[in-house]
Amino acid sequence: MFFYSNEKLETIADNINKEFYPERLDKVSHFDAYDFMEKQGLEIEWKYISPNKKILGMTFFDDGNWFIWDSGKCKDGDIPHCEKFKKGTVVINNILIDEKDIKKERFVSGHEAMHWVKDKNYFKTHTTDLIQVCKEDVFERTYCNNKMKDEDIIERQTNYLNAAVQMPRDLIKREFFKRLRYKNIPNYPIEYTSYMKKHIRGLADDFGLNYNPVLYRLYDLNILKRKD
C-alpha cells in the first residue's frame, strides 16, 4: 500500500497546478478535470454504471467489463448489459449529468483524475480488482490513518489530493481570511463558528464545489480547529 503523507499529497497537487494550470495558484477558478484527464491521455465516458447514485465514478487500470444500464431506470424495466472498457478509461455516472449536479460532478471527475495520477504504480503490483469503483459514500472525506483498510485509505487520500488540486493551499487560506476581513493571517487554527458558513458557501461557489469539500479542506490545512 502506498501511504502518502498529507505534505506529499500537497506537493503533488502543487506540481499538477504548476505544470498544467499555473494561474490557478494565484486566482480562484474552477478546475476542469476533463481537460486534465485528456492531457493524461485518458478516455472519458458517461454511462449509467448503476441504476442510482450508489456508484459515481470508475477508473480502469486495465481492460475490463462492467454492467451498464441504457437509461439508468431499472424500475422501468431497463435491464443492464455488459460492456468492455479499455485501460485508461474513466467512467462518470450519467445520472450526475441528468441531474445537472455540476458541483458534485466536478468533484467526482476530479477524484477519478487523481486516481490515475496517484494510483498507477499501486495497480501495477496489485493485479486483482483493476477497476477502481468509487461509491457515493466514499467521496469528500479526507481524514485517514494507517489502521484503515487499503481501499478506504486509497479513496480518502484521493479525495485529499483532489481537494488540494482544486483548492490550492496558499490560495484558499488567503481567500478565506480575506472573506473574514482579517488583517493578518493567523498561524494557528481558529474555531469554526456559524458565522463562517456564508463565507465557506461563498468560497465553495468560487471554486465550483459543494460546501463539505471546502469545510474539510479548511480542517485539513489547520485553518480551522479540527473537531474531536
Question: Which pLDDT tens digit goes with each residue over 182-199?
Answer: 989 999 999 999 999 999
Domain regions of the chain by residue span: 6-167
Share of the chain above pLDDT 70, in %: 95
State if pTM tops 0.75. Answer: yes
Which pLDDT value is given to residue 1?
56
Contact (CB, 8 A) for 114 and 162? yes
Could you give the angle at the alpha carbon of 166 between the alpha carbons of 163 and 169, nearest 5°?
75
**pLDDT reading at 77 higher than 90:** no
Question: Which pLDDT tens digit goes with each residue over 139-164?
Answer: 878 887 778 888 888 899 999 999 99
**pLDDT reading at 74 higher than 60:** no
Question: Which pLDDT tens digit goes with each residue over 114-145?
Answer: 999 998 877 777 666 789 999 998 887 888 77
Q: Between these two residues, 202 and 101, which has the higher pLDDT value?
A: 202
Which pLDDT value is given to residue 129?
73
Contact (CB, 8 A) for 179 and 202? yes
Query: How many residues are listed for the chain in this entry?
Result: 228
Which pLDDT value is given to residue 75?
58
Instruction: Find the mean pLDDT for residues 76-80.
Output: 76
